[in-house]
Structure 1
Amino acid sequence: MEKELPKIDITDDFVIGSNDDIDLNILSLYTQYPCRLRAEIFVLCRSGSIEASINLSEYTIKKNDFVILSPGSIIQINKVGGDFKFYFMVFSSEFINGLNKNKSIIDLIYITKSHPILPLPEEFGSIYEEFFRLMKKVYYKKHTPYNPEILKCMLLSILYRLSDMYHERPIWKETGSNRSEEICKKFGHLVIQHYTQERNVAYYAQQMGITPAHLSNTVKHVTGKTVMELISEVVIVDAKAQLKSTDLPIRDIAYSLNFPNVSFFGKYFKRLTGMSPQQYRNSDK
């Protein structure tokens, strides 16, 4: 029984295409409720724009932006604008799990959690568009068998190039030099990984090797919110998604989020949203 945020995955190892190949109504899958991804998704935007929430941060994706969504990312689309043209490449969770990841790839995964969007110069935007078009021709050629090892080499080549491009950008180095921002980012990553089980400031401080007071003061200074407020935001996002996109009993949703009982979950949810879980499930929000 599914007891987590909706996970989006694919059954094949690999899928590639563009907005011309799909019904754009599929984007509505990501608009109504937040979704937790299982697949690795690369998107190149060539025109138009899209406003989206990625790991609870708001972004506007525009022309020549290259988007990297790692497994475990939480995404929700808020608005699509203009003549939105894009290319996408998706690798399944099973395929990703079988990939040998060295330090450079692990570093890239960490960077893209904080910076999922890489703006490209027009020249590189055109080059990547040509690459996607070439891969599409190969992908849609009938009776062409896929060798998993070739796919792995292709994915690794993309990841290595992206790693180089990220590290070539001064903005990433400048952001990384701010200790307070780094603490907040690491805290955010840990919360997304452990919020269903851990909602204690001391736990996250211990994982980061700092004192609870240091963590609390830093998070408040950088974000304007308390540690508990940020944890609660993630919990509520998950709760809302389960209430709207599954038929799970509220009791099961409460237990999946590590609440001791339905009553406790109901009070927690109402205090933060202004309505009970059942009222939210029945609402149009």
Structure 2
Amino acid sequence: MSLNCMTIPTMSISGSTSKISTIGTLNNDFALYLIQGDFPKERYPKSKDAYEVIIVNSGNLDIEIDNQIHSLSKYSLAYLPPNSSFKIKSTDTRFRGYIMMFSNAFIESLQVPLAINKEKAFVRKSLSDDAHYSMNQTFMLIKDEISNQEHVFRKEKLSNLVSILFIDLLNVFVKNSNMFPGLSFSGESKRRTKLSKDFFSLLKEYSREQRQVGFYADKLCITPKYLTFLLKQSTGKSANEWITNAVISDAKHLLKNSGNSIKEVSYTLNFANQSFFGKYFKKMVGISPKDFQNSCAY
């Protein structure tokens, strides 16, 4: 299943004891809703094309997922892939929660160390105080940023914040075999998970200096072939793809800054010369750095 975009419902419902409102959207890739009180169940925002995360901050929510009833209370959350079968059964007047919707393209753009299960819904009741605090802090930043229409790099900031949120989700569910079928996270699996996380840490530190898979493999004391294998298995992308994504993302960011010439960008990213950088960028993006920079000026 390939869902490049999603249909985003815009909600604005207010009553004496209920409220549903759209906090913000990002093209057809991301949407955030506030839901509180005993709202009309038939008006629940749902897109068959979207991945959804429901976070309960207070009160109670009864939800039916794949014909199974789940009672969610404070500090609970649920993850719903596209086309999942679910219904809101009941809420109370104290209920307050948030719903995030993501397109497949947005999910694929996230830099997380393990792949999210795209077919099976899951529920987590009563997060620990530490887990809830960490996720809630990130969530509040997402809430602020989705409302900030003026930021030039709004999409990039949101993508990074949601990546952090999903890493926290992975941390919560990492021992849940339903989320990661076939992975036990013991022995070799734990080692692979650590290697993946260490790779992304190294990539963040060295992507402007090193674009060779061998460099990162040497740092991790494994072969380039094995590094590519474990990343492909856990994330769906090869080591070279992740390196290229990091370099191109950084290049786009620098080119959008009018204070940086193409020559300066190529130097910052450690390319041999401007010509080599131009050929690399055009091969990966489809247009030249100059054309990309000009397109950002409008």
Q: TM-score, normalised by structure 1?
A: 0.45
Q: TM-score, normalised by structure 2?
A: 0.43
Based on CA coordinates, which of the two structures has the bigger radius of gyration? 2
Pick 1 or 2: higher relative contact order, CA cutoff 8 A, min separation 6: 1
**More helix per residue:** 1
